[in-house]
Structure formats: C-alpha cells, structure tokens
Structure 1
Amino acid sequence: MVRWQVNLTVLWLGQFLVMGGMTMIVPFLPLYLQELGMKDPHEVATWAGLIFAGNFVTSFLFQPIWGGLADRYGRKVMLLRSGFGMAIVMTLMGFAGNAWQLLILRMVNGTISGYAPAAVALMSTNTPKEKMGFAMGTLQSGAVAGTILGPFIGGLLAEWIGYRYIFYITGILLFAASVLTLLLVKEKFNVKEASAKPKISVIQAFGQLRHVRQLPSLYGVTLLIQFAMLSTMPLMPLFVAELHGQTAGLAFFAGLVGSITGFSNMFASPILGKLSDRIGPERILGICLAGAAVLFIPQAFVHNVWQLFAARFGLGIFMGGLLPTVNALIRKYTPEGMESRSYSFNTSALSLGNMLGPVVGGAISGYFNIREIFILSTILLFINSLWVYKTLLVRKTSIEVNFEDERPR
C-alpha cells in the first residue's frame, strides 16, 4: 500500500477503537451509578444525563484550542496526545467511587479528546485530491462502526465481567490504537514553517474562517445533522413500544432501531465518498441533505416497527454521504495551514448538536409528539439543503461559468 492508504487503514482502526471505547459505557451508565450507591431513580437519571453530556460540553469548548496547536505542531502529535490521554482517563473511570468523580473524569475526557478531528485533518492534508472523497467516507465508516458496535459490546461485557472492567478494557483499546498510530502513521508536516507563522487566538482564527462563506454553511450542516438525528432519540424507545407493544423483544427492537441507521451509514459512506470524487462533493451533499429530509417524513406516518426499520435504514444511506462530504469540502475551502482549526470548529459544531438534540427533543416532547418532531427535522434539513444550494452549488456554478467566459477563444 502507498503511504496514504497505510494512514487510512491505521486511522480507520483508530477511529473504530476510539468511538467503540467511548460508547461502550452508554448502555450501563445508570446501572454503574446504582452500583456506586445511588438509589433514587430520578437522581440516577439526572446524573446519567449530566455525566453523558459532560464530555460534549468540554469537547465543544476545547476542540478549537487543540486545532490551533495541531496546525502549529502537527496533527500526529494531537492524535497521540488525545489517544494516550483518553486511555489514561478511561482507565481511571473504572476506579471512580462516586458520581462526582465520574462526571469530572468525563469532562476531563472531553477536554483532552480530539482523535477524530486530528485524524480527519491528517488524512485531508496527506491524501491525493482525487481520492479525498473515498478517504473521508472510509474514515467516517470506521467511526460509525465503532459507534454502532460499542454499546452492543459494552452491554455484553457488562453481563460477563461487570461494569468496572469495561473501563479498563476501553483504556487498553485506546492505548493500542495510540501505539499503532505512533508506529505506523506518517504525515508530511513542516514544523519549522508552521511555527514561524504568527500566533492567532481562537477568536481571531474563527474570524478569519467565517469570512469564507462556505465554511459556516458546512458547520451548520454538521450541527443540524446531529441535532436532527438525536432530537428524537430520547423518545424513540417509547415510540417503538407504541408500534410494537409491550411484548417480549421490546428492548431488542428499540436497540435495533437505534443502530440500523448506523449500519446503512457505515456501508454507504465509502461508496458515496468515491462517487463524490467523480461528480463533486457539493452535489453529493445537496442530494444527501434533500434525501435525508425526505426520509424523515415516512417515519412520522409508520404503523408498525418494520416500516420504521425501513425508513431508518434508508435515512442512514443518505446520512452516509453527509459528514464525509462536509469534511472533504472543509479541506477544499479552508486556507492552507488552518486545516486543523477548521476541523476543530466543525467538531465543536458536532458536539453542540450532540448536546442540543436530546435536550431540545426532550424539552419539546411536552408540546409535540415524536411524529411531529420528525416533521420538524424534515423542515430543518430542507432549509439547510437550500442554504447549501445557495452557498456551495450556486457559487460553484457561477465560478465555473466565469472561468469559461474568461478562457481565450
């Protein structure tokens, strides 16, 4: 394999292990709190929500800082900092004695996280342009695969070995991913040249990037993707119960509804990424946004759980073309030398969507049922697709037309 393919293979595995390790704790977090001595169900639910969100809050705040350092000292350094740091913190979670310690460790984990944006930035700057879509799609599939299988594996391990040991296993997996990155990943990066550039703050960096009109549009896509996907998640088990009934296998079906979108996403991402290399990522992004918006509509009108499965599977196919093309386009429009900063702002947008989606979805559930929230998600994604059309597709077409007009006859 050539160098960029070696990097892609190692970083795919790294993404899988990092996201799988991070999501392993999701199924048993409330049960772990009960094991720590918390008895009141409302208190358990409240703390579980705080601990789960704590990681995203600090990640949202600190990602731009790490992005600036990556542009200055290299992306591989940030991969190793994040990987080894998270390995230590996740292991320490297995020694937590109360909810406060667990919350603090989750917030520390969010503070030092950043493997995913550093991996994307490294691949985007060390991959041939004609292979960019394929590389971004493949990298995304590794993250999605880890996100899907993490909770499933975590649930099984919790039954076999207990809750605390899962944190130790996660720490070992993250350490292994970091060692592989250290030994096998190579990047072309001139540290002296990057360090010679003037230092700019996070606010100054954002001020420079927001003047590239395509980038705010792409950050908005990332935020709305996560918001639309997660706003219905707190209500999804209840919706499955409504469709399937309170019968045997309810938990299995509820879990399958949550993961089936990820399965189709995982398989579609590399294919759509490869297609974007041929017809352009702007077109793939516009098509997938419109397709995802359309696929939210039948979810509002399903009458049984199998119809919901079909709609969610189709939704995952279009979702598979969103984040990879966003990453490819961020690389395309970001000024040279600011790639990691740009990706870090996108990661902050992703974290914000992860935070706001479940919170807002749960808050408005008293006013709207889940079927109406599906329609709201459709409206948001259609608005976003129009924004993409205006800021990316129309501008791209006008540039091509002007270029043709200026060519010598």
Structure 2
Amino acid sequence: MEQWKKNLIVLWFGQFLVMAGMTMIIPFLSLYLQSDLGVSDPHETATWAGIIFAGNFVTAFLFQPLWGKLSDRYGRKIMLLRSGFGMAIVMICMGFATSPWHLLALRLINGTISGFSPASISLISATTPKSRMGFAMGTLQSGAIAGTILGPLMGGLLADWIGFRSIFYITGTFIFLASLLAMFVVKESFDRVQAAAMPNMSLIEGFRQLGRIPQLASLFAVTFLIQFAMIGPMPLMPLYVQELHGTAVNLAFWAGFVGSAAGLSNMIAAPLLGKLSDRIGQEWVLGVSLIGAAVLFIPQAMATTVWQLLLFRFLQGMFLGGLIPSVNALIRKFTPDGMEGRAFSMNSSTLSIGNMIGPIVGGLISGWIGIEGVFLTSAALFFINAIWVRQTLLARSRDERGIKQLE
C-alpha cells in the first residue's frame, strides 16, 4: 500500500476518536456535574455545563495559530503526536476531577494543547498526490464527522453501562492508542533544515501575509459560516421540533435525529464529492455546494412537519459534504510553501469562532424574529459567501486556464 494511503487510514481513525472524545460528554456533562462533582442547583448546573463545554473552544481558538507556526518549523507529525498524547492524558485526568473547577481547567488545557485535526489535514495535504487531494480530504473529513455524530451516542450508551468517570478513561486510552499507531505508521518527508532557513515570521506577520491572499480569506469565511450556520440553530432545535411535532412525546429522540441528519449525509457525501472535485476542480464543487446549502436553509424555515425538516436537513448535509474537503484542498493550493501549518491552524481557529459565536447569535436572532429567521439569515450569508468565492476562486481559475491556452 502506498504511504499516503496508510497515512490516510490511520489519521481517519485518529480524527474519529478525537472528535468522538470531544463530543462524547455532551449527553452526560450535566449529570456528571450533579452526581460526581457536587453541583445540585439546576441553574448552577446549566451554567457550569455551558462554560465547561465552551472552554475547550476558547483556548483552541487562541493557541491553534501557535501550533501551526511550530508545525511549519518542526514538522506536522511531531505536532500531531504532541496533541494526540497530550489530549489522551488530559482526557484520562477528567475522570479524576473532583470539582467543576477541575473539569473546567482540564477542558481549557485540552483546548490549549489541541491541534490534532489541523496537523492531520496539513500532513495529509503534504503527503497526498495532488490528483487525489480531494478524495483524501473528503475521506479525512468523513472520519471527523463520524466521530462528531457517534460521539454523543456512544457517550450516552456508555454512561448507562459503565458510569461517567470510566468513559474518560476509555476515551483517553483509545486516543493514546491512535496516537501510538500514528507514531509508528504515519510518515512525512519534512526537511527541517529547509524549514529552519525560512524567515521566522511572528504570528502577527504570518496572519498579515496570509490575510493578503484574497482566496484564503474567502475560504476561511466558508469554514466560519459552516460552523456558524450549523451550530447556531442546534440549541434551539428541540423547541423547533416541539413546535412542529406538537407533542413532548419522544421529543429528545426527534431533536437528536434532526440534529444528526445533516451530519450523516455529510459523512457519506464528503469522500464522493472529494473524489469528484479531483476530476472537475475543487472550485466548482465548492461553489455549487455553497449554493445548494444556501437554498436548503429556506425550506427548513418553512417546514410544517418534523419529517420535512428531517428531509431538508439530510439533503443539505450532502451539499455540506462538498465544502470542508474542497476548502482544505484549496487552502493547500493557495498557501505559500512553508506556511501550510499556519494556514490550516488559522482555518481551525475560524471553526472555533463559529462554534462559539453561532449559538449566541442564533439565540439573539431567534429571540428577535424566531428560529425561522436563523435559517433565513444563514441562507443569506451562504449566498453572499458564494458570490465572494465566485469572485476570488472561480475568476482566478478561469484566468489560469486562459493563460495556459495562450501558452
């Protein structure tokens, strides 16, 4: 088997386990605070749960660029292993927490040392043949999506079976084993001497240089919008499902089913659309996927039954499956050599911003014009981003083809 395929298989499992570990606590976090950490007041429990869950994304947003800079200087694999082994240890320590402050501190540390995903993407982009880049990015994305979807389900099942603390021990052990497998199987050809000879730019200067590339700015905006538009309605989804369903019977099941529908189709479509993008170009798959995702927000705002909402979410997920793989492949295409790690880390930071801002802005918009307004606002933002992508990427693609024809 070719080395890039070995890298892809191992890092697919790594992405799955890391994302499952990050989301596994969602179903039982409040219960863990009540039963094991001594928080009894319902309002206090809800407040702690929100702060603890968000803490990971705050520090991840702040520290991702630093790890990206170091990966450009010392290699992607070492950053991958630093993050994997570090998160494994922190995850196990969460099982020994005795107060909410302990759990919050560990979540903040986990976000600080995170970076497995951007390091994986950067490593795959550096070791995969350009003709298979879309397929590799789509496959890698499917691993992350699978972990995100199945993580809460696994967490809920394991909580009833083995208890809350044991979940942290098991998750940490699996992440450790995935990192160990990556250490022995994953390989990259990284020239440290050449990397050391590159100008040692500060983080701010690196931001400025990448920010001057219009294609990258539009791609970072796509990543932000995906998280903003998909995470924003999630806290409100049970209320919307209750409004459509008309009864509280099986409300949690239907809310979870609707919430995961887009993720399921995304997981299926990502490798297929990634492979298609290798044939027709990532720019075109990205543009069509943006328009398709934007259009499908509109019927979600007009749904009259849960089944309609479920169908539209599932169809939308298929278009969303073409976004992240195309974005990652194009980031590699437009990023100057030697700055790939920083570019992917910046992209990961915009993802964290979307995770933080989405629920807040979604709640404000919902309180003003209803949850239907959240879907319509997301649709408008996707259309605007599609125009931006067309101006920066598709126009550049046409210009390059024209130059080649003249040559």
Fold-level similarity (TM above 0.5)? yes
Q: In the alignment, which residue of structure 2 is the partner of 1:138?
A: 139
Deviations 1:36-90 (Å, cap 9, x if unpaired)?
Answer: 1112222111111111110000000100000010011100000100000000001
Contact 2:223 2:347 in 1 (8 A): yes
1:296 Cα deviation (Å)? 0.5
Q: Give CA-to-partner distance per residue, 1:156-209, whole Å, 9 cap, x none.
A: 011111111111111111101101100100101111211222311111111111
CA distance in 1, matches of 2:187, 2:277: 26
| Contact 2:365-2:371 at 8 Å conserved across structures | no
Find the residue that maps to 2:276 and give its secondary structure: helix
Specify the code of the residue in structure 2 equivalent to 1:323: I
Residue 353 of structure 2 aligns with an amino acid whose one-letter code is: L
Matches within 5 A, 1:2-401: 2-35=2-35, 36-401=37-402
CA shift for structure 1 position 402: 3.5
Mapped contact 2:366–2:372 kept (Cα < 8 A): no
Q: Is the 8 A contact 1:21 1:173 kept in 2?
A: no
CA deviation after TM superposition for structure 1 residue 399, in Å: 2.9
CA contact (8 A) 1:135 1:270 kept: yes
CA drift of 1:117 comes to 0.3
Distance in 2 of aligned mates of 1:13 and 1:245: 40
Specify the code of the residue in structure 1 equivalent to 2:187. Answer: K
**Aligned partner letter, 1:169:** I
- 2:175 and 2:364 map into 1 onto residues whose CA distance is 35
Judge which range, 236-245 or 113-122, deviates more.
Answer: 236-245
Q: Distance in 2 between matches of 1:246 and 1:306?
A: 14
Match for 2:356: what amino acid?
A: M
Structure 1 distance, partners of 2:19, 2:403, is 44
Give me the whole-angstrom Cα distance separating, in 1, the residues matched to 2:364 and 2:32. 26
Counterparts of 1:132 and 1:155, CA distance in 2: 35
Give the aligned residue type for 2:302.
F
Q: Unaligned regions of 5+ residues in structure 2, if any?
A: none
CA contact (8 A) 2:23 2:151 kept: yes
Q: Call closer, same or farther: CA 1:363–1:41 in 2, change over 3 Å.
A: farther
Distance in 2, Cα, partners of 1:314 & 1:236: 17
Report SS of the residue matched to 1:95.
coil
Q: Is the contact between residue 123 and residue 188 of structure 2 (CA under 8 Å) also seen in structure 1? A: yes
User: What amino acid maps onto 1:111 in structure 2?
Assistant: T
TM-superposed deviation, 1:245: 2.7
Which string of whole-angstrom CA distances, capped at 9 and with x for unpartnered residues, describes residues 222-261 of structure 1?
0011101111111001111111133432211111111111
Once residues 4 and 200 of structure 1 are traced to their aligned partners in structure 2, the CA distance between those partners, rounded to angstroms, is: 30
Amino acid at match of 1:362: G
- Structure 1: tracts of 5 or more residues without a match: none
What is the count of residue pairs matched by the alignment? 406
Instruction: Write the distance in 2 (CA, Å) between the matches of 1:139 and 1:321.
Output: 12
In structure 1, distance between residues paired with 2:339 and 2:11: 21
* Cα distance in structure 2, aligned partners of 1:247 and 1:50: 28
Shift of 1:265: 0.2
Amino acid across the alignment from 1:31: L
Three-state SS of the structure 1 residue aligned to 2:264 is helix
Please list the CA deviations of residues 367-398 of structure 1 after superposition, one character each: whole Å capped at 9, or x if unmatched: 12111111111001000100000111112212
CA contact (8 A) 2:206 2:342 kept: yes
Query: Structure 2: which amino acid aligns with 1:11?
Result: L
One-letter amino acid of the counterpart of residue 153, structure 1 = M
Partner Cα distance (1:83, 1:359) in 2: 30
Could you report, residue by residue, the CA deviation over 1:317-373 in whole angstroms, capped at 9, with x for unpaired residues? 000000110000000000011100100000000000011001111233221211111
Contact kept? 2:198, 2:338, Cα under 8 Å: no
Q: Distance in 2 between matches of 1:400 and 1:197?
A: 31
Identify which range, 240-249 or 333-342, moves more after superposition.
240-249
Tell me the amino acid that sits aligned with residue 88 of structure 2: A
CA shift digits 1:13-47 (9 cap, x unpaired): 11111111111111111111112111222211111
SS in 2 for 1:366: helix
SS of corresponding position for 1:367: helix
Contact 1:18/1:177 (8 A) holds in 2: no
Contact (CA 8 Å) 2:365, 2:373: kept in 1 or not? no
Query: SS of the residue aligned with 1:228?
Result: helix
The whole-number CA distance in structure 2 between the counterparts of 1:40 and 1:119 is: 41
- RMSD value, Cα: 0.9
Instruction: Using the TM superposition, give the Cα deviation of residue 141 of structure 1 relative to its aligned residue in structure 2, in angstroms.
Output: 0.2
SS at match of 2:39: coil
